[in-house]
Amino acid sequence: MAPGVERIDWAAPWLQPWRAVGEPLAARIVAATADMAAAPADEAEPGLPVHAALSAAPGAPLRFVPQSDLPEGTAYEQHIFDTRCVPTRDNLHDFFNGLVWLHWPQAKRRMNQLQAQAIAAQGVGAVRGPLRDALTVFDENGALLQAPEPLWAALHARDWQRLFVDLRPLWGQARLLLLGHALMEKLVTPRKPMVAHVYKAPPAIESIANLDTWLAQALQPEPWATKPFAPLPVLGVPGWWSANQSASFYDDAQVFRPPRSGAAQR
């Protein structure tokens, strides 16, 4: 059993786009299937390894395999590109990575392709180049934000009072979709300082499948190497955390940091 999967709160607002697929998979990992629930402990079937549960998901875009299938000395991204197999450990981190592959297969393939191309051109060094670094940041902690322009202006200015208090009604027209599997893992135990690196998505695209296609096309080396993201403390999003109903929630400058002096705003 993957430690921590049983602690996922599928009622959390950030997990609603993932719940229909993710909750049944988590149940298969954690314990026996429902029809075995009443069986004696010595007769109950154990939960599935994470890789087996993900591979069995309907429409899985590639195979998930045990981490031991990754040959020693082979880069993880290169192995995925070459084999269409994702080495997967029995933990929360890799469970959420698998869920992202199931929901955003085109974007994940494109990120993997760009990683593999950079590895082929530059090799694997102690420090990633700008493009690989940006892709890794987004893969681990990224999100798409669809929002009216005034919210984006306030976010880029890091004017948190305007973003979350003055313009709070506009969040009813916004949608934040997580892609970063490390961020999703951390949100199993939510903490106020958690930040997503958000990328601007067109509000008119409603389905995740269409957003997936759009994002895969938007993933181009030159703009992405500049890290075209904005930091967003995710528990400040209205409706995502009960404590943020109070305006004083946003007074914490250690979380809602002012813009750096002299820093250019995108």
**Domain co-membership, 99 together with 181:** no
CA–CA separation, 166 and 24 (whole Å): 39
Asked whether residue 65 is domain-assigned, the answer is yes
What's the pTM? 0.90
User: Is 247 found in the same domain as 142?
Assistant: yes
**Which of 63, 97, 129 is a domain's end point?**
129
Phi, psi dihedrals of residue 22, rounded to the nearest 5°: -70, -40
Q: Is 57 helix (H, G, I), strand (E, B) or coil?
A: coil
Helix (H) or strand (E) holding 185: helix 181-186
Q: What is the mean pLDDT of residues 56-81?
A: 95
At 240-261, the pLDDT tens digits run 999 999 999 999 999 999 887 6
Average confidence (pLDDT) over 167-176: 98
- Asked if the model's pLDDT at residue 124 lies above 80, the reply is no
CA Rg, the chain, in Å? 20
Which residues form the domain of 26?
13-129
Asked if residue 3 belongs to a domain, the reply is no
Q: Which amino acid is it at 238?
A: P
What tens digit of pLDDT does each residue of 177-198 get?
999 999 999 999 999 999 999 9
How many domains is the chain built from?
A: 2
Whole-number pLDDT of residue 266: 41
Instruction: Show which of 78, 103, 129 is a domain's final residue.
Output: 129
Any domain includes 4: no
Q: Residue 102 is encoded by which pair of tokens?
A: 């199931």
- Count of other CB atoms within 10 angstroms of residue 221: 13
pLDDT tens per residue, range 96-115: 999 999 999 999 999 999 99
